[in-house]
Chain A
Amino acid sequence: DADVTQTPRNRITKTGKRIMLECSQTKGHDRMYWYRQDPGLGLRLIYYSFDVKDINKGEISDGYSVSRQAQAKFSLSLESAIPNQTALYFCATSDTTSSQETQYFGPGTRLLVL
């Protein structure tokens, strides 16, 4: 969905480097999420934020941190990247004012850690 953008779209980094993935949305949604996708494992939730002052760990938060700088922005950081963090990362948003809350996904960031 073009209303959810992610930068960068592709990134190659080295083990031990700090890297930040950014997500922005123009949908006006209050909730934002970070997932990683690995072949055969589906999507797994890393962190989520139900509003600007709310941050929650997901299923696989170790090695990651997040920052919700504003309602529209939610960044994911890898403090010291390791090869098994090589994956496709997706940001998603949802709107609690809708009677049928649905998540909408960004285009993804493909990360390779050497």
Chain B
Amino acid sequence: AQSVSQHNHHVILSEAASLELGCNYSYGGTVNLFWYVQYPGQHLQLLLKYFSGDPLVKGIKGFEAEFIKSKFSFNLRKPSVQWSDTAEYFCAVGAHSGYSTLTFGKGTMLLVSP
């Protein structure tokens, strides 16, 4: 079974600050990795995903994530956050096989102050 750990439950940043949200997973095989975002009062939206290839993945709204296989990590980054990035961010992992479900982390709430 897989598991996901997100290091920070809450993060508070000022606008223009750089962001890095940690995500580590536990699974013995090949994985697919995802970051989802949930803006206040809304449903989950896909930010970015990694299946294979280049471990540096670029997503929407200037976000990127790097898969480091040796560290079982998939950290989310953004060079300069905006107030509109205030949201909850979820890391998720699924096995690379075709009969897999996703396991989500507990989420990181990001508050960006103007």
- Do A and B pair up? The answer is yes
User: Which A residues fall within an 8 A CB radius of B?
Assistant: 1, 33, 35, 40-45, 48, 50, 58, 90, 92, 96, 99-108
Q: Which 3 A-B pairs have the closest CB atoms?
A: A42-B106, A43-B104, A105-B44
**B43 A105 Cβ-Cβ under 8 A:** yes
| B95 vs chain A, min Cβ distance (A) | 11
How big is chain B's contact interface, by range?
Answer: 20 to 34
C-alpha gap A104/B92 in the complex (Å):
13
- CA–CA, A17 and B99, complex, Å: 34
Picked from B9, B34, B99, B101, the residue with its CB within 8 Å of the CB of A102 is B34
Contact B46 A102 (CB under 8 A): yes
Quick one: which of B34, B42, B101 has the most chain A CB within 10 A?
B101
- Taking a contact as CB atoms closer than 8 A, the residue among B9, B32, B43, B98 that contacts A106 in the complex is B43
Q: Binary interface profile of B, 68-111, with partner A (CB < 8 Å = 1, else 0)?
A: 00000000000000000000001000000011011111110000
Interface residues of B in 8-33 (CB under 8 A from A): 9, 32
B51 at the interface (CB under 8 A from A): yes
Which residues of B line the A interface, CB within 8 A? 9, 32, 34, 36, 42-46, 49, 51, 90, 98-99, 101-107
Q: List 12 A-B contacts (CB under 8 A).
A: A42-B90, A42-B104, A43-B44, A45-B101, A50-B99, A99-B51, A101-B32, A102-B46, A102-B49, A105-B43, A105-B45, A106-B43
A108:B9 contact, CB within 8 angstroms: no
* B6 and chain A: residue at smallest CB distance: A42
- Residues of A within 8 Å of B32, CB to CB, are 100-101
| Complex-state Cα separation, A106 to B9, whole angstroms | 24
- With contacts A33-B101, A102-B34, A107-B43 known, is A40 near B9, CB below 8 A? yes
Whole-angstrom distance between the Cβ of A33 and the nearest chain B Cβ: 7
